[in-house]
Every structure is written in C-alpha cells, then in structure tokens.
Structure 1
C-alpha cells in the first residue's frame, strides 16, 4: 500500500497550526512536504509481504546435524505505534536450518520490511521469528532485539540511557538449553560484559556462556 503523501502534508499542516505555530514561516513552510517524504520511507513496509524479501533459498545438504546460524548486530529503526516516535537498536537473529538456507543478507531485508510500519518491539521480534520459521520451515529460530525508544527517552520518564530487550523463539531454540547457549553468546559479545552477565543470569547460569563459546556453531557478524 503506497503512502498518501498529499494527505500527510495536509495533516502536518493542520498539526503545525494546532500547536499554535505559523506554517508559512520560513522554517516550517516546507515541513509538511519533508514529513511526507520521511513517512513514505518510515512506513514503506505497510501491507508488504516480508517473505518476499527472503528471495531465493538454497538446499542444506550437510551430513552432520545442522548447527545454529547466528547473525549479530543488525541495526534497525522503526516507529512506535503508540506515539509515532522512533525506536532504534540492534537485532541478533539465529536459525537452525532444516533443509533450506538463505543468504545472510536476506535477514536484514526481512527486518527492514517488518520494521517499516507502525510497530511494537515485542511484535516486531515475533514477526521476524514467524517469517523465518514459516518460510524456511526452520528447525529453530531465535530473535533478540535491543532498542532505545523515543517514547521513553524523549517524553514521560525521559530515561535517555534506557534500552528494552525482547526475545522471540521458535522450535528447537525455544528449548532452555539451546536458547541459553545462544543468549549467552549474544550477550557476552554484542551487549558488552554488563549486559551479557545479566542476560546469561536470566537464561540460567554463567556456565551457559562458557558452553556457548565452545559450541558456537556457525557464526557471522555483520
């Protein structure tokens, strides 16, 4: 569904007037057009099918049981549907293939489609996990998102340094041991020592981090 720029411009013009500003003054005269252009990018994923972003898949013909494929540190941004304020952060995505693989560049493409719509962080993680699980018939999927929200940092509590971490999992990566290993690996290397210790404790024990380091499977950092 294409964003209606004309209607957005009219709405922004009304908003500028509603806050008591002059929409014709130099600094604001082009603001409705600029906001419409920005929103056409922010909400380009509305109505889009994220599965199409996966592109071509490839057969997995390994002789050994498949190990997790982990892609860390994927930057994303979205817009909170409650206040239409931005939230941005990093995604860490792991999947255990069954008989199909995807190009690693397809994972951020899926995230982009799903993030480019009014969102909640919790739902975004679940949608990423469902898309990968269903499209690949993956044996397991784990999605960890860490983001800073404008509705928390810029208004209300104004906690500028706060972040929110959410986890979504499917299949074998919902099992406590497998999930703890990957959570420990992600936490120890991607969130830093303090955050990694907290995530490892929540996952079960610090021993899971040590075990994960020795059983990392196939890991890719972008």
Structure 2
C-alpha cells in the first residue's frame, strides 16, 4: 500500500508543500531526487519512506548546528575545587563534513575551576551540541575547550576526543578499527605538562 503522507512530503515540489516543517520537506524532496539520479526507484516498497526518514535523521544529527556551545553552559554556580573536574567517556555521534558520513567515539573533558563550576551533565550536553553538526574532529575538540573557557573562566581546560571515522573504515583506505585522537587545552593545561599527564592518567590513558 502506498503511503500517501510520504508521497506528499517527498514527491511534491517543495515550493508547493504546505507542511509545517518546510526544511524537512525540502530535504526529503531532494533525497528522492538523489535516489532517482542513482538509478533507484524511490516508489518501491523499501524506499517509499526513505526520503522522509533521511530528512528526519539529518534534522536529529544536525540539531546542534545553530546552537551556541557557550549557551549550553549558561547555568553556573559560585564554587571552587582543590582539584580538577573531569567527565570521561562521553559518547557522541557526529557527521564528517567532508563526506557526510558518521564518525563516533568518546570525549573526555576536564577543567580546573576558578570561581565557578557547571553541572556535570552540562559538559555531556556540550559534547552533544558540538557533535550534532557537520564537523571535523579537530575543530570539535577545540570548540569544547573554547566553550568551557569562555563560560567558566577556569584556570585551565582540556579535552581529548577519540573517534572512529566511517569515511576511513567503509570507503577510501578501508581501515576498520582505526581510531583518531585529538587533544586541545587552554590555560594551565596548555602550559603544564604534569597537569596534562595527570589528566591522561585520570581518564586511563
């Protein structure tokens, strides 16, 4: 049975669409056109809802695109700490901006508080925000550090990101299992080798 709603959103010229989410309709329409250009039949059963599914997927995976990372950390508390605050093994999924295929892994974030701290879940939310956009791992790592530095003005910030890139695993050189590690730091973490080594020990590296 043909899904009339699917045909309405993906088979209709986006200029004529009346759905409330115009951007999703536009994406679905063009995904359908891509399927046709690839020689597929977008009206066959297995692909009938694919344009809409892909549009919704992009909407979800790019949800951080227009979010200022610093705004995620806007609720802070006046508090100090004698040692670093570290949240490790924060899982994330992102889209490589070069091939628009996923890369995924874990981020480890630490900072030396100055006069303010932030809720621990906000650091995980920050990682999610900077990963949910077309991204490269190097920039993502720096964005984490820059956001924490701006929001909290701590004595130092450090982030280490480990990821597997499907653009290397499923295509091109085809090296599944290879992982990329990036690190960025500011303040005392940038200047003090012993502090960086302590951070690495605390996250098990």
What TM-score comes out, normalization by structure 2 length?
Answer: 0.86
Which residue is 2:202 aligned to? 185
CA contact (8 A) 1:3 1:43 kept: no
Residue 84, structure 1, aligned to residue 100, structure 2: yes
Does the alignment pair 1:160 with 2:160?
Answer: no
Does the residue aligned with 1:4 lie in a helix, a strand or coil?
A: helix
Look up the match of 1:74: 90
Normalised by the length of structure 1, the TM-score is 0.80
State the match for 2:77 in structure 1: 58
User: 5+ residue gaps in structure 2?
Assistant: 1-20
**1:178 aligned counterpart, secondary structure:** helix
Structure 1 residues 90-121: Cα deviation after superposition (integer angstroms, max 9, x where no partner): 01110000000111011011111111110000
Equivalent position to 1:176, from 182, 189, 193: 193
Answer yes or no: is the 8 Å Cα contact 1:22–1:28 preserved in 2.
yes
Work out the CA distance in 2 between the residues paired with 1:55 and 1:99. 15
**Runs (4+) off by over 2 Å:** none
Shift of 1:50: 1.6
The one of 55, 58, 63 aligned to 1:36? 55
RMSD: 1.4
Show structure 1 runs of 5+ residues with no match. Answer: 190-195, 197-222
Deviation at 1:61, TM superposition (A): 4.4
Aligned residues: 184
Give the aligned partner of residue 46 of structure 1: 65
Contact 1:3–1:40 (CA under 8 A) maintained in structure 2: no
User: 1:72 touches 1:93 (CA, 8 Å); kept in 2?
Assistant: yes
Q: Is the 8 A contact 2:80 2:117 kept in 1?
A: no
Following superposition, the deviation at residue 184 of structure 1 comes to 3.1
Matches within 5 A, 1:1-222: 4-61=23-80, 66-174=82-190, 175-186=192-203, 189=204, 196=205
What displacement does 1:171 show?
0.4
Whether contact under 8 Å (1:55, 1:106) holds in the other structure is no
User: Is the contact made by 2:74 and 2:151 (CA closer than 8 Å) also made in structure 1?
Assistant: no
